[in-house]
Copies of this chain bind each other. A is one copy, B any other.
Amino acid sequence: MKNAEQIFQAIANEVGVSPRTVKRTLAQPRKDTRPTYVERAKRIRSLAEAHGYRPNAAARAVRMGRFGQVAMLTRHDVSFQQFNLNKGVCTELAAHDLHMILAEIRPGDLAKPETSPRLLRELCVDGLIVHFAQKISPATLEAVSYSGVPLVWTNLDQATDSVCTDDAQGVRLATETLLEIGHRRIGLLAGPHAKEEFAHYSVRDRREGYLQAMQQAGLSPNIKEFKDDSGYAEGLSRAIDLLDSEPHITAWICDSDVGGGAILMAALAKGLKVPRDLSVIMFHNLSPNGSMGLPISAMALPMQKVGAEAARMLLRKIANPQEPQPCCKVPFSAPPVIRTIGPPRQNK
């Protein structure tokens, strides 16, 4: 492998200019439009390619103090919703010619310098997007801030420097969609109401948004809790009990795909046709198309949009590190009618 100086020298000899001119020609976008200059630039470029010259991004980073890359830090056990988040961040950064480093870590590893990721200990990124999908512990906060670069949180309901989904709007939209097609008795299958301090904001926001929407429509709310960690068989039997105990409900809004799946299977087991006899809509991490080819009407978490917004916010913070950015809440899109939601039965 020839080094850069040798390559420049060789090209300079062939073209008949100094090595510095060769370098400058390669670095600068063509401004001069005179034919002789353009012709020479073309020749230099093709020669450089022939010699296998590639600009060294690290050298530029040293000189400029900018690395041209950003890291996204996530928990190792984070769910598939991150897939679309990655996509959003990656695409938005690529539009600005920035690279995305993806780092998955165990939160406990942040404490010790030996196990914390190198990108927190060394200067190598221009900014950081942190996706922990949980309340942040003080130790985590300190470890992550240690890097000293601009930082944006995702999936966290903070006043500043964070991007998250607008779950209150999402559940209002779901409720309104059901109201519009004629439902009046709409139930919410809520996520577990954990202790306030540990609960994820989305569980709380979805409850509140539902209550608001129902109150605004002058209807009485009906909230049932569903724990989604007790296995299929138990979940299914509890869902069947639920449908039995609340026969007047014509539509269920489900906080998770697990609860939604249980309701769907329970309906199937009870001989109810979906959506003819019962409408079901669920907040879902994956795609609006569900999985295994099953059709579902889902409030798809707009994670790709969250990622794109986080990247944009980070770019603003890099340009202006001191200024706090107001929290960005990304709205949900309306769910597809037809699949598992439809008008209520008239005779109910």
A54 touches which of B62, B123, B257 (Cβ 8 Å): B123
Complex: A187 Cα to B191 Cα, angstroms: 40
Complex: A159 Cα to B154 Cα, angstroms: 42
Complex: A119 Cα to B52 Cα, angstroms: 15
A37 sits at the interface (CB 8 A): no
Interface bin, chain A:
35 or more
Residues of B within 8 A of A97 (CB): 118
Q: Are B290 and A292 in contact (CB under 8 A)?
A: yes
A209 sits at the interface (CB 8 A): no
Q: How many Å from the CB of A314 to the closest CB on chain B?
A: 16
- Map CB proximity to B onto A245-271 as digits: 1 under 8 Å, 0 otherwise: 000000000000111111011001000
Q: How many Å from the CB of A166 to the closest CB on chain B?
A: 24
A117 sits at the interface (CB 8 A): yes
Residues of B within 8 A of A292 (CB): 257-258, 260-261, 264, 282, 290-291, 294, 296
Stretch from A11-19, A76-84, A213-221 contacting the other chain: A76-84
Q: Are A293 and B56 in contact (CB under 8 A)?
A: no
A→B interface (CB under 8 Å): 52, 54-59, 61-62, 67-69, 71, 76, 80, 82-83, 86-87, 90-91, 94, 97, 99-105, 117-119, 121-124, 147-148, 228, 232, 235, 257-262, 264-265, 268, 282, 286, 290-296
- Can you give 11 contacting A-B residue pairs, CB < 8 Å? A54-B123, A57-B67, A57-B122, A58-B61, A58-B124, A94-B103, A94-B104, A94-B117, A235-B293, A257-B292, A261-B292
